[in-house]
Amino acid sequence: MYQKILNGLQDFFGISRKEARGALVMMLCCAVIIWSPFVFRRWILPFVPTGSRPPERKVLDSIALLLEKQQTSRYREKKRSPAYDTPAPKAIKLVRFDPNMASESELMGVGIPAFIARRIEKFRKKGGRFRQKEDLMKIYDFPQDLYARLEKYIVMPDPKPAFGLAQNSSFKINSDTRQAVKGGIQPFDINRCDTTALIRLRGIGTKLALRILKFRDGLGGFYSSDQFKQVFGLDSLALSELNKYAKVMSSVKKININEGTAEELARHPYLRNRQQMQVLINYRAQHGPFRSLEDLRNIKVLDEATIQKTGPYLSF
C-alpha cells in the first residue's frame, strides 16, 4: 500500500522518490493539523476543569473599548508614516510608454494610480515582464477602462531571438524552422538549453521551464518530442510551442544495464519500481549480462511499453 501511494505521487506530480516521501509526510501532517481542533473539542476539552468565575460584562466592554482605541491610534500612525504617503498627483499627460521600462512617476504621469504603479514596479523587480499589451490586465485591480484609454499609447519592445540555431548536419530545416526564424525565435536544442530559451515561448513561465529541465535531466535527455506530453502541467499552447521550437539535436545519456545497481536503475523516471529492478539484477546474475532489448523481454515483470520507452536510455 505504501509503495502504491508513493508511485501514485511520483506519476501524478513527476517528482523523485525522495520528494514523494516528503510530500506524503507533509500530507499526513496536514491531516493531523486539520483534525486536531475537532479531537480537542470532542475528547479533550470536556475533561479540562473550568477556570475561575468569568469576568463581568462591564470589564469585557472596557477591555474591548481600550483595544479599539489602540487599534485606531496605530492605524493613524501608519497613515502618517512615509511608507503610506501618496505622492501628490501630477497633471496627466498621455504619452507613449513602455511598461517594462517606465518608472513609477512616468506610470503615474499617464494616469495610472500610485498603488497600481507600485505593483507594476514590484512585478518587474521579481523578474516579471510584459510581453504584450494585454499583460497589463494581469496586474491585480488594474482598471479596465484605464487600459482601454492607454492601450494605443503602450509600446512593447521587439522580441529578441532566444537561441542561435545549432550547427548540426543531421538537423534539417523544415517549414516550422523557417517560420521560427522569421518570427524572431529560432529553434534550439532541448537537451542543451536552459530556462532562458524556454521562457521565451508562449505559455511557459519560470516554474514550468524549471519543471521541464528537471524532467529532462532525470531522463537523461529527450529522444523524441512526443515525450513533452509527459511533463506535468503543460497545456496545448505550451506543447505547440515546444513542438515548434524545441528540437532534439543531441543524444541522450545512457545507463549501462549490465553495470547499474537496483538503486541506480530505479532513479530513472521510467524504472522507478525498485522491486522490479531487483528482479532484473537477480536475473542478470543468474543468466549473465543482457545483450539486447530482447533479453529484457524474458523478464516478465517489465511490460512492453516500459521496454519500448526505456530502450533508448539503455546500453549493453
Q: Where does residue 203 fall: left (phi above 0), alpha (psi -120 to 50 degrees), or beta otherwise?
A: left
Dist CA 75 CA 185 (whole Å): 51
CATH number, domain 175-247, options 3.30.2290.10, 1.10.150.280, 3.10.450.750, 3.40.50.2300: 1.10.150.280
Name the one residue in this structure whose C-alpha cell is 530556462.
Answer: 195
3-state SS, residue 147: helix
* Length of the chain counted residue by residue: 316
Question: Where along the chain do its domains lie?
Answer: 2-36, 104-153, 175-247, 255-315
Q: What is the DSSP letter of 140?
A: T
Query: Which conformational region is residue 220 in: left (phi greater than 0), alpha (psi within -120 to 50 degrees), or beta?
Result: left
The secondary structure of residue 103, as a DSSP letter, is -
Give the span between the Cα atoms of 254 and 313, in whole angstroms: 4
Residues 101-154: pLDDT tens digits? 888 888 888 889 989 999 898 888 877 788 888 888 888 888 888 888 888 889
User: Which three-class secondary structure state does DSSP give residue 52?
Assistant: coil
**Residue linked to cell 544495464:** 257
Q: What is the pLDDT along the chain (316 residues), one digit of tens a residue?
A: 788 888 888 877 778 888 888 988 999 999 999 988 888 888 887 777 666 565 567 777 777 778 877 777 776 665 555 544 445 545 788 888 888 888 888 888 888 998 999 989 888 887 778 888 888 888 888 888 888 888 888 987 655 444 443 334 344 444 444 444 445 688 999 999 998 899 999 989 989 999 999 999 999 999 999 999 999 888 888 899 999 999 999 999 999 988 888 888 888 888 888 888 888 888 888 888 988 888 888 887 888 888 888 989 998 8
Q: Are 130 and 100 in contact (CB under 8 A)?
A: yes
> Which ranges in the chain belong to alpha helices (H)?
2-13, 17-39, 57-80, 104-109, 114-125, 144-150, 175-183, 195-198, 206-219, 236-245, 262-265, 274-287, 293-296, 304-310
